[in-house]
Structure 1
Amino acid sequence: MGGLVGESKGKAVLRACGCAVAGLFLIAGCTADGTSKGGAASGSPGTSATPSGTGASGTGGTGASAPAAGPSSSARVAMPPVDESKQPKTAAEARDLLGRIIIAEQDLGPEVARSTPFESGPGRWPVLDESCVWQTEGLPDDVLATSTRHFHIPAKDGRGRVRINATVTVHHNREESGWETARAMEEVLRCPEQKLREGEDLKSLWGGAFYLGEQMNEWTEDAFTESGDYVSAQDGGPYPYTWSQAQFGPVTVAIAAKGAQGVTNDDLTGYVANGTSLMMIQAKQELGKAAG
């Protein structure tokens, strides 16, 4: 499938299911105003990072209700050019940067709590093998640092436990981060059914990717979203599953959300869009050139 990856990146990978994907971008654009594969495997990559320190971006109530949208799109943070002098050159600099981008639980809403473990161990990277089973390996050469945080919304009032993961990955340059998005697209085409770990599976996956300016994507250089069904031996299913990834310069940010009994896809989309758009804002603030 390597040739497919190159063709995908060169020709604006898979524009199928455009309406649904564009809807996620529209939500993200609204919730990002005024101021953005996580969770693929139990050993997803991560490193200890300092909470972002921003205020909560989600305003959802009890259960898994989707957060409310933010101010009008006229206040949206513009897409600034990347300031190459701010790009990290070492793993230590990259870890420091992602610590300022990745979100904390309060950024998703007051009902969201930390899971245990909260952050994945450093130095590991999720890889989808030839059998469509997620494994972990050491960091590839094109990754300076990555971190995944694990959250959940506790079961309440007839709704099951919702699981949410946030991931930030820092590459050496924009080309490497772009190839990460291309590989994600190739993975969903190659493996519409995937095993996260024993007793947890993703089924009926589909995805779509859009460059800046395509299908209402006005907030990220390259965006990808994936949706399908989540099935758990412990919790049952199928339940809705969705994942969104966005790119700015050498950085990718992503949110994955797994549903549960009584939780709709719309419930998940609000959290995914809010979390991704907030991290995208913070990436732009950290790496974008100042106006003027």
Structure 2
Amino acid sequence: MRRSWRAAGALAACGLLLGACTGAGHGTGGTPSPDPGTPDTPGTRGTSRDATAPRSASAGRIDAARLPRTAAQARALVRGVIADPELFGSGAVRATPYESDPDTWPVLGDDCAWQPRGLPGDVLATLTRYMEMPDGRGRTAGVTVTVTVHRTALDAAWQQAGVLDETMRCPDQTPASGERLTGMAGLTRLTGLSSSASAYGEGANLYSDDVLRESGDCRGGESGGTFAYYLRQAAYGPVVVSAAACGGQAGKNADGPTVEPVQACVVAMVGRVKLRIGRPAPGGSGTPAPSGPGTPGTPAGKPSGKPSVMEGGA
């Protein structure tokens, strides 16, 4: 699904997610700033935080020399970190089609309907994969995972802010004709959407610059029923990863059987990003230093077993 594909431009939501979305020394054009791995300081939204703590998970932990500068480099990074069915455990399989058109970027219109557009200038590469897995009720849940590489961390932060804005503006949304928005053929509506966010250090988010949750119901599909919808999206430096599932009992969005696999997938993909663009650990081992207790060490490629949800329920 392409929910991580939100176009940036959410001034109202920006204040909710970030302390300031501009003026932090980050380029917004094609040339990254000297510190492209550090997004603007996230807002605490009433949460007390140690003033000496890093202002983001990626602050000082990204190796600028390892960041992609071209679309080709970004596409290689995307394919190195994006999840495959094995990450979701036994029973998960590829859907048809398996991958999105990497040159498209859905945009939510004023009518709350998604329409495909070309890639925006701040995006170097993006890719969505569609899968299916058991939903715990004897049916199949549609699953989507997306990885997007922006030119700067600030661009990634704007994308995160855009998610909150879109949910507030359009709690009910319509996918574009033929778009497998949540991996379910024939999906007609997403309804009752709500979202929340946690910056690094808030709640149990100890692994990403900020993490978003979105939930509601998804309607349609081959059976024409209503199911639970859940999305998790996280940013680390200029990279945004997301996973979402449409399946299970409607209304059980926060504790349904698809929630834990979605959470674990996002944590694992962020871990892969860290291994690809992070600074080497002290001692020259070549492995990036962990950014907190929630840092998974899964290398790119096939993971060994099902990842645990290190973020918890926050």
In structure 2, the partner of 1:227 is 215
For 1:210 and 1:180, how far apart are their aligned partners in 2? 15
In structure 1, the partner of 2:77 is 97
Task: Give 2:11's aligned amino acid.
Answer: G
Q: Does 1:3 align with 2:11?
A: yes
Q: What's the offset of the Cα at 1:160?
A: 2.1
**Larger helix share, 1 or 2:** 1
Q: What's the offset of the Cα at 1:180?
A: 0.6
In structure 1, the partner of 2:168 is 189
Q: What's the offset of the Cα at 1:161?
A: 1.8
Cα deviation, 1:133-172, whole Å, max 9, x if unaligned, reads 111100000000001000002689x622200001000011
How do 1:116-131 residues align onto structure 2 when only pairs under 5 Å count? 116-131=96-111
In structure 1, the partner of 2:153 is 174
Q: What's the offset of the Cα at 1:84?
A: 1.1
In structure 2, the partner of 1:206 is 194
Q: What's the offset of the Cα at 1:263?
A: 10
Task: Give 2:160's aligned amino acid.
Answer: T
Give the match's secondary structure for 1:194: coil
CA contact (8 A) 1:80 1:288 kept: no
In structure 1, the partner of 2:205 is 217
For 1:182 and 1:207, how far apart are their aligned partners in 2? 11
CA contact (8 A) 1:237 1:261 kept: no
Cα deviation, 1:184-240, whole Å, max 9, x if unaligned, reads 111001111111245521111110011100111111111111001111164233311
Give the match's secondary structure for 2:126: strand
Higher mean C-alpha deviation, range 105-114 or range 193-202? 193-202
Q: Indicate the structure whose relative CO is greater, using CA pairs within 8 Å and at least 6 residues apart.
A: 1
How do 1:26-37 residues align onto structure 2 when only pairs under 5 Å count? none
Q: Does 1:267 align with 2:257?
A: yes
User: How many pairs align?
Assistant: 232
For 2:67 and 2:135, how far apart are their aligned partners in 1? 41
Task: Give 1:4's aligned amino acid.
Answer: A
Provide the aligned C-alpha RMSD in A: 2.6
Q: 1:281 aligns with which of 262, 266, 271?
A: 271
5+ long unaligned stretches in structure 2: 1-8, 20-41, 48-56, 178-186, 283-314
Q: Does 1:140 align with 2:120?
A: yes
For 2:143 and 2:45, how far apart are their aligned partners in 1? 26
In structure 1, the partner of 2:246 is 258
For 1:188 and 1:78, how far apart are their aligned partners in 2? 26
